[in-house]
Amino acid sequence: MFRRSIVVALVLVLILGAVVLFVPLPRTVTSSFTLVPHAKVEVTAPREGAFSEVTAAGMVNKGAVLATYDLAPLEARKQDIEKQIASLTKQLQAPPNPNAATNLVKAQAALKTAQTALAKAKGKKKVAAAKKVKAAEVAVEKAKAALPKPAFELEKPLQELNVVLESVNSQLAQPTIVAPVAGAFTPAIEVGKTVTAGASVGAVEDSSKLKAVVKQPDGEVIKRGQVVTLVLPRGKKRVAFDGDAKGGLAEAMFDNAKGDLKPGVTGTAELEGEPRAMVQLK
């Protein structure tokens, strides 16, 4: 019995020595990556106008001023509107002129007399007569303007002017266009050139979120959800791929709200490869 056990043991040793058992183990493969902005945000002009200042291309923080409107045209328009409002308000508040109608009749009569004299004038007297007609016409217009007007004829344009003035003041209070996100700004406008409302001011490449574009290693497959370790200047970061690899590249997005990383950073990517490494057991 003892001999049989020894024989069985020897046979097993021989079998194990003859048969090689391969056990697959996980392995890590390396590749390269480049950080790119998550998205490009277009910035448009809220209104028509020209710009007195435009920020040069480069990195900007969220809320940074990208462009400043030239406010001189708006300020001039505001002054003109305020003058019109003051004039209408004065007319509304002024007591009626009891002599306005009489003054208009007198002015019209004087104009008619001047026109008759001009028709009869000859030579040098004709020049002087023409000047009198011109002066009489101006007097008639002034007399007409002095006539009392119904309140509704003044209140409607006054209301419209106040609405316009409110809009102008609102625009003057917001002279700048700011960056909606942090990132690399590329301007599309120049100082002094007028743009229409809705025209592009430029674009900001949003760096609050970044994408790691990873090159797919030869012979490997990258799938959605697969984890990759990015070897960064200040340590490592594990992120998951957003989708399968396409064209030999795969993307993995991650948060960069603190702005620690900048687009353009490159480095090594570590991925879990297909199990191929083997261990021999004898």
Domains of the chain, residue spans: 24-69+180-281, 72-174
> Three-state SS for 51?
strand
Query: What is the rounded end-to-end Cα distance, in angstroms, of the chain?
Result: 27
The strand pairing partners of 253, in sequence order, are 211
HSE-up of residue 217 (Cα within 13 Å, Cβ side): 15
pLDDT digit string, tens, across residues 64-115: 999 999 999 999 999 999 999 998 888 777 667 677 667 778 888 888 998 9
Looking at the predicted structure, is the pLDDT value of residue 12 above 70?
no
Q: Are 187 and 202 in contact (CB under 8 A)?
A: yes
pLDDT of residue 34: 93
pLDDT digit string, tens, across residues 241-255: 988 888 899 999 988
The strand pairing partners of 167, in sequence order, are none
pLDDT of residue 281: 45
DSSP characters for 151-204? HHHHHHHHHHHHHHHHHHHHHHH--EEE-SSSEEEEE---TT-EE-TT-EEEEE
Nearby residues of 237 by Cβ (< 8 Å), 6 or more positions away: 229, 230, 254
Q: Is 211 exposed, middle or buried (0-12, 13-18, 19+ CB in 10 A)?
A: buried
∠ CA 72-76-79, nearest 5°, is 140
